[in-house]
Amino acid sequence: MSASERGWGGRRRQALISVLSWPPAQRKERTGNRNAEIMAGKPKLHYTNGRGKMESIRWLLAAAGVEFEEEFIETKEDLEKLRNDGSLLFQQVPMVEIDGMKMVQTRAILSYIAAKHNLYGKDLKERAWIDMYVEGTTDLMGMIMYLPFQPAEAKEKNLALIIERATARYFPAYEKVLKDHGHDYLVGNKLSWADIHLLEAILMAEECKPDILSAFPLLQAFKGRISNIPTIKKFLQPGSQRKPPADEKFIAHVKKIFNM
Amino acid sequence: MSEKPKLHYFNGRGRMESIRWLLAPAGVEFEEEFLESREWYEMLLQDGALLFQQVPMVEIDGMKMVQTRAILSYIAGKYNLYGKDLKERAWIDMYVEGVRDLMDLIRVHHKLSPQEQQKNLALIGEKAATRYFPVYEKILKDHKDDFLVGNQLTWADVQLIEAILTVEEKVPTILSEFLLLQAFKARVSSIATIKKFLQPGSQRKPPTDEKAVAFTNRIFNRR
């Protein structure tokens, strides 16, 4: 029998097996053209041109190798228009147009993307651990995100609290997870939403205190490893859709739009 | 079969109540270990039983689960209250998150000073009547089904009825404009397992009062 008649045997099978061992995003790049036809266009993100609650969504899409469009809310009128259009289920952003839905609520959007792109573990229990880990990093990043919106007098105290929580509550927990199982990733020995979210949290925490990982050697290695995944590496480079930390001017701008 | 889930929390609603609510309609019996003192909480901490040093914590299926949302998602997934596919799950997640935002306003109510409570009450009433309940009324109106998603009981329905009843404790007339939600409330309340949970003697906790707040402040060393 000739090689071409062997069908799924031999080299084709080996190629398939090797492709299946790639991280989801790389695999998609090679085999995803069919998927691109099936999907109803790129996801479209509606938010201000800054991090806020949308940043984790940008991270997850980027890590999954999903191209997305962004429509920025620049003025109060932009927000009103979205509200009046009936596009915002609870009058709030983030809102992501994806697969025929206008999704709102950050966690709902993230869960959907994670599941859709195989970043949510292989079963209910793995999903439970991913959810737990993500909730921890959400709490930490939430503290950091709201820091610029706190009154000036409270900023120093809150920054100290963030550093304390990061180094005494959250990072020790993730360091221990990695230590206990000795794997490269947090859950199921495979890249998941939890890893992407943790990297995002680490980088945000380092913006608060550059040596914040000094007591956590496994997290340092983790950071290096995850940052090197091709899709994530690309997202971390200048010119990507990753947003910079908010400055005073941007905070004032956002407060105006949302009447804060 | 696995043992009963065991809930670790203080003897009050707080963040654990939604978990009690979700276990109940699934007909799942559960045990509760109440944090009675600061020492008890510190023991849990020292045992390494609390991943992020926080409760709620639920022992279930060999895991010590923390983080309310993670626990609720797991229970919903395990007991078929999470829809039939990814898209239904997406809608359930969206509806649940919306309700949760409303519940959070209520959850912190008794921590506020009397003046702040007045303002908060008005905010709860306003948000419920203009941002949240109209959404759920419209969903029911648009598809005319008995339940929010996929024409069967899901986590979204359980979360919504918990929210309705909790808001009504603060604002008794809140459903006056929402006829479909009134019907929804009656319908879901009469589901056998939920009806049972609503009766005296169940593990449902009464509304949080000042005494409970002082107690938890002591346990968690809050000023």
**Where are any strands of DSSP class E within chain A?**
44-47, 69-72, 95-98, 101-104
User: Is A127 part of the contact surface with chain B (CB cutoff 8 Å)?
Assistant: yes
Q: How far is CA B52 from CA A66, A136, A168, in A?
A: 32, 7, 9
Nearest to A101 among B69, B90, B97 (CB): B90
Other beta carbons less than 10 A from residue B108's beta carbon: 13
Res B89: pLDDT: 98
Q: Which two tokens stand for residue A9?
A: 């045997």
Residue partners of B160: CB distance under 8 A and separation at least 6: B95, B99, B136, B148, B184, B188
Chosen from B52, B65, B154 to mutate, greatest number of chain A CBs within 10 A: B52
Query: Mean pLDDT, to the nearest integer, of A76-95?
Result: 97
Res A5: pLDDT: 46
With an 8 Å Cβ cutoff, are B98 and A105 in contact? Answer: yes
Number of cross-chain residue pairs from A and B with Cβ atoms under 8 Å apart = 78
Query: Mean pLDDT, to the nearest integer, of A115-120?
Result: 98
What percentage of chain A reaches a pLDDT higher than 90?
A: 80
Nearest to A132 among B70, B90, B131 (CB): B70
Res B219: pLDDT: 81
Q: Which two tokens stand for residue B144?
A: 């005319």
Is a pLDDT exceeding 80 seen at residue A28? no
Give the residues across from A47 on adjacent strands. A72
**Identity at B181, one-letter amino acid code:** L
DSSP A44: E
Print pLDDT tens along chain B (223 aa).
458 999 999 999 999 999 999 998 889 999 999 998 888 889 999 999 999 999 999 999 999 999 999 999 999 999 999 999 999 999 999 999 999 999 999 988 888 898 999 999 999 999 999 999 999 999 999 999 999 999 999 999 999 999 999 999 999 999 999 999 999 999 999 999 999 999 999 999 999 887 888 888 888 776 4
**Identity at B208, one-letter amino acid code:** T
Nearest to B90 among A103, A106, A131 (CB): A103
Is a pLDDT exceeding 70 seen at residue A144? yes
Chosen from B19, B81, B94 to mutate, greatest number of chain A CBs within 10 A: B94
Q: Which residue has the higher pLDDT, B216 or A21?
A: B216
pLDDT band at A33 (very low <50, low <70, confident <90, very high): very low
With an 8 Å Cβ cutoff, are A108 and B93 in contact? Answer: yes
Angle ∠(A65,B72,B169) on CA atoms, nearest 5? 130
| Set of chain B residues whose Cβ sits within 8 Å of the Cβ of A120 | none
pLDDT band at A152 (very low <50, low <70, confident <90, very high): confident
With an 8 Å Cβ cutoff, are B131 and A90 in contact? Answer: yes
Res A69: pLDDT: 98
What percentage of chain A reaches a pLDDT higher than 70?
A: 85
Is a pLDDT exceeding 90 seen at residue A24? no
Nearest residue on chain B to A123, alpha-carbon basis: B77
Q: Please provide residue B107's backbone torsions phi and psi, each rounded to the nearest 5 degrees.
A: -60, -35
Residue partners of B27: CB distance under 8 A and separation at least 6: B193
Residue partners of B13: CB distance under 8 A and separation at least 6: B107, B205, B206, B207, B208
Query: Kind of pairing, strands A101-104 and A95-98?
Result: antiparallel
Sign of CA dihedral B65, B69, B74, B80: positive
User: Is B66 part of the contact surface with chain A (CB cutoff 8 Å)?
Assistant: yes
Res B25: pLDDT: 84
With an 8 Å Cβ cutoff, are B74 and A124 in contact? Answer: yes
Angle ∠(A194,A197,A203) on CA atoms, nearest 5? 140
With an 8 Å Cβ cutoff, are A169 and B74 in contact? Answer: no
Closest CA to B95 of B165, B156, B9, B15: B156
Cis peptide before B56 (omega within 30 of 0): yes
Exposed/middle/buried for B198, CB within 10 Å: 0-12, 13-18, 19+? middle
